[in-house]
Structure 1
Amino acid sequence: MHNRDAVFLDELCPKLRVRRWRQSLHIYTGKSCIYCGKPSESIDHILPRARGGLSVTENCVPACLSCNGHKSDADVFDWYRRQRFYDPRRAMAIRAWMDGDLRLALRLLQWAHPQDASLPKPDGGMELSFQPA
């Protein structure tokens, strides 16, 4: 049997594939909110779906419920600059994430909180190229 002939569980259950993708986003940032650094509990669309944002890796970031709810459908950088926890390194990480440079985004997040050992190393080999259907 060849690999191309195999049927994978992800193909039979698309919800499982989306769940794994969402979990990988949280793991990639050390289960912390990309905006404030608190534990992430949800996925936020950088460009809100209400404004045409897609559910792709480059547009979805882990966020705490507070940041996700407060940001709502506002422009991410206008909203973020007004927050008391604003950090230019995190803002650069968000921009790098949007541009698809997840390694740079992770380095910037590590720079923002160097004592946080929960973040994986930038060259950890984790690849997030999945885009849910």
Structure 2
Amino acid sequence: MQNRDAVFLEDFCPKLRVRRWRQSLHTFTGESCIYCGKPSESIDHVLPRSRGGLSITENCVPACLSCNGHKSDAEAFDWYRRQRFYDPRRAMAIRAWMDGDLRLAIRLLEWAQPQIDKNQARSKDYSTDWDFQAA
């Protein structure tokens, strides 16, 4: 059977593909909010959908409900600079994420959270084949 002849479960259930994509975003950051570092519970659009932002990997970041709700449809960097928990390393990670360099973003997030065991973070299965697709 050739690869193009294969039938995948995602072909029959598109919602499963979206669910796996959302879970992979949380996995990249160790299930922590990209803004404040608390456990992530939602996906935030850096450029809000109301301002033309797309639901693609470069524009969607894991966020806690507090940050996601407080940011609302504000521009991410202006909003983030005004927060008490602002960290320039996280701001650089958000910029790297938006530029599509997820490896650099993950490194910067590890640097911003030194309490995470480096060996534990590197032992996670981060695939080098990143699928950039619309949700």
Q: TM-score range by the shorter chain?
A: over 0.9
Q: Would the alpha carbon gap of residues 75 and 17 (structure 1) be closer, same or farther in structure 2, given more than 3 Å must change?
A: same
Q: TM-score, normalised on structure 2?
A: 0.92
The structural deviation recorded for 1:129 is 1.8
Listed as ranges, the matches of 1:1-133 within 5 Å are 1-117=1-117, 119-120=121-122, 124-133=126-135
- Which has the higher relative contact order, 1 or 2, with Cα contacts under 8 A spaced 6 or more apart? 1
Q: Answer yes or no: is the 8 Å Cα contact 1:29–1:119 preserved in 2.
A: no
Q: Find the aligned partners of 2:94 and 2:38 in 1 and give their Cα distance.
A: 16
Q: Would the alpha carbon gap of residues 122 and 96 (structure 1) be closer, same or farther in structure 2, given more than 3 Å must change?
A: farther
Q: Find the aligned partners of 2:121 and 2:86 in 1 and give their Cα distance.
A: 20
Q: Answer yes or no: is the 8 Å Cα contact 1:104–1:122 preserved in 2.
A: no
Q: Answer yes or no: is the 8 Å Cα contact 1:24–1:128 preserved in 2.
A: no
Divergent runs of 4+, >6 A: none
Identity among equivalent pairs (%): 78
The answer for unaligned runs of 5 or more in structure 2 is none
Q: Answer yes or no: is the 8 Å Cα contact 1:59–1:98 preserved in 2.
A: yes
The structural deviation recorded for 1:115 is 1.8
**SS state of the match for residue 61, structure 2?**
strand
Q: Find the aligned partners of 2:115 and 2:128 in 1 and give their Cα distance.
A: 21
